[in-house]
Structure formats: C-alpha cells, structure tokens
Structure 1
Amino acid sequence: MTENEQQLLTRVAAEARNTRPSGWTSLPAPVDEATVTRAEAALGFRLPPLLAALYSRIGDGGFGPEYGLLPLFDNPPAGGPAAVTQYLANRASGHQNPDWSWPEGVLPISHWGCAMYACVDCRSPRATVLLYEPNADEADHAWYVDAPSLADWLRTWLDGTGWYEDDEGAAEPTPWTDFRIRTTAKAS
C-alpha cells in the first residue's frame, strides 16, 4: 500500500470513529485476516489491498457515505445484505436473466437505497468504483463509473464532493462502457 493510501486510511479511520451512516449505531470491529481470506475464497478473487485494509483496519462496514460500507459476511443493522452474500446472489441471478448478468469481480460494497449499489471492480488495477442503478431502462444503462479508483471514491466522501451530495458542482457518474464485455466474456 502506498504512503498516500496509508494517509487516506488515517483520514477514513478518523471520520469512521466520528460519524455513523444511516442505520448504524456503532462502528463494528475490524475483521481479522482469516475473515478476509474466507471472503476471497467465497468470492473467487482477491480484494484490492485498500478495500481489504478498510475491513481489517477500520471496521466490518458501518462507515462511508449514505448507508455505509456493507459488512463482508454479517448483515448490517439496517437489515440489508452483506457484501459477499449480495455478490453471490447477484451472480446467481444473472443465470436467470442474461441481459442483467452481474459482472465477475464487481463486489457491491455500499447500498444507496432503491436497489442501487456502489461496487468495486476488483479486476481493475485501481479498484474502480462503479454505480449499479437497476432502475435504468436497459442493462447497458445500469452501470456507471462513480470514481476511477477506490481511493478517489473515499476522498469524495471525506471531502463531501460526491454526486450524492447536495453540491451543485459534483460530477455525475459516467456510463461504464465495459459492462457488455465483462458480462458476455463469461458466457463464451
């Protein structure tokens, strides 16, 4: 992990100790390395180092924008799913409706409400954060790039500059053009 990511973790930890997202009354304890390893085994891919550090150094969810990060395995207090559970369910549901297949390696990490999720593309080198917006008319229009990296996504939360803020100048997510490539590649 880079020095900048270490500094970012320090900022995130301070914010996580001082604020609670909707539905959370306390910050859960961090998970141990065995839990991260178990999550990676269940998912079939490794978590990006910064994401693993969020869970293992700060808390098992319960911090971040809106409803906060999802826990890896346990249900959050607001009754939503855990990240691993949601990913596996989303991947399984794609077999029922191929037009709405869930891309491999795209882990939901935060629920926005209305079935929308912030997701980390664990296959991208920078851990791109994607917005899944299933209320779109077509599957191609359900995926957006929220931030070029997980670090950038965390900074927008800390700085109050995310698209979800009331700030008129906040950048809107752009369409994720790799959706079809990433969902049709598994079918071949």
Structure 2
Amino acid sequence: MRSVARAGTLPPPATPEAVVAAEEVIGFPLPHLLRRLYLEVANGGFGPDEGVLGVSGGAAQGNFADIAELYQDGPDPSGRIPAGLVLIYDWGCTIWSLVDFRDPAGAMWCSHEGECWPQGVNLAEWLTGTLARTLTVETLLQSQPTS
C-alpha cells in the first residue's frame, strides 16, 4: 500500500484554468491548501494510497476522473450531503472523504451508506493523519455518529 507518491509518479500541477473550471462547476472556491497543492505540487495523486482526485486532466481514482465530474450532477441526489462538500478520496466500500469548500481551511467530512458527518479535522490535518496512518478508514467509521 502506497502512502506517499514515489518520485516522478505524480501528475504535473493543474492549470489555473482547470482549477477555475472546477470552482465554477462546484460553485465554491477551492480551500486554500487544496488550491496550492493542485497548482504547485500535483493535480491530485498525493495523499494516502492512490491519492486524492485531481481537477480536469489530473489524477483519477477508479472510474472517477476528477472532483468536478463527481460534483456536476449535484453534491448528492439523495440530499444528505450538503452543497459545497466535495468528494475527494474513495476509501472503497462506499466510504468517501469529502472537503468542505465552504470553509477556507477545508474541513473534512466522511460519507458512508448515505450518512455524512464532520471529521473534526481540516485538510492539512487529514493529509497528515492519513500519511502517518493515524487516520484510517477504521477511525473514520468509528467516528460515525449513532442515529
């Protein structure tokens, strides 16, 4: 399991036009850190395992090409995921990490089986935790509120 991308395996940084196009589809600006990572480091692919999704032209995950493609039909047809929460990382088994684009710090959320809840960390803390393996799919599911 890859935790940090090997040298030379990340896609090139996103173009400013791709970032603006994603923001237009989503209707919110990218959180500051995510914008810098896309524009200065790589267009996705960084982070845990296969890495986070990029914007157009960047790292895909499975059948998902980019964050705007996932968002363009609305954040969630069931209405359970609030507008502005953007799917960014697929843990598998219908478990997703989402970034809150309404928050400049990029508060992180989790979605599983139609439920969505805040993680209590921002994007920087999420990246640090996933790379250090202190934040795992198991810890995400343990934090799910009980109904």
TM class by shorter chain equals 0.7 to 0.9
After the TM superposition, which residues 4-153 of structure 1 pair with which residues of structure 2 at under 5 Å, given as runs? 15-18=4-7, 26-74=9-57, 76=60, 78-91=62-75, 94=77, 97=78, 100-134=79-113, 139=114, 142-153=115-126
Give the alignment partner of residue 160 of structure 1, picking from 133, 139, 142: 133
Deviation at 1:50, TM superposition (A): 0.3
**Matched AA of 1:16:** A
Q: Secondary structure at the match of 2:63?
A: coil
**Conserved? CA contact 2:130–2:136, under 8 Å:** no
Go from structure 1 to structure 2 and tell me whether the alpha carbon gap of 1:67 and 1:89 turns closer, same or farther (over 3 Å shift).
farther
Go from structure 1 to structure 2 and tell me whether the alpha carbon gap of 1:60 and 1:85 turns closer, same or farther (over 3 Å shift).
same
- Deviation string, structure 1 residues 78-120 (Cα, Å, up to 9, x no partner): 33241111112343x52xx4xx443111011111112221100
TM normalised by structure 1 equals: 0.64
Greater Rg by CA = 1
Whole-angstrom distance in 1 between the partners of 2:104 and 2:61: 32
Whole-angstrom distance in 2 between the partners of 1:153 and 1:164: 12
> Is there any run of 5+ residues in structure 2 with no aligned partner, and where?
none
**Matched AA of 1:82:** D
Whole-angstrom distance in 1 between the partners of 2:102 and 2:85: 8
Q: Secondary structure at the match of 1:89?
A: coil
Identity among equivalent positions (%) equals 30
Go from structure 1 to structure 2 and tell me whether the alpha carbon gap of 1:46 and 1:125 turns closer, same or farther (over 3 Å shift).
closer
Higher RCO (CA < 8 A, seq sep 6+):
2
CA RMSD of aligned residues (A): 2.5
Whole-angstrom distance in 2 between the partners of 1:34 and 1:17: 27
Whole-angstrom distance in 2 between the partners of 1:78 and 1:66: 12
**Conserved? CA contact 1:126–1:148, under 8 Å:** no
Greater fraction helix: 1
Q: Secondary structure at the match of 2:137?
A: coil
Deviation at 1:65, TM superposition (A): 1.4
TM normalised by structure 2 equals: 0.80
Greater fraction strand: 2
In the alignment of these two chains, the number of paired residues is: 140
**Conserved? CA contact 2:81–2:116, under 8 Å:** no
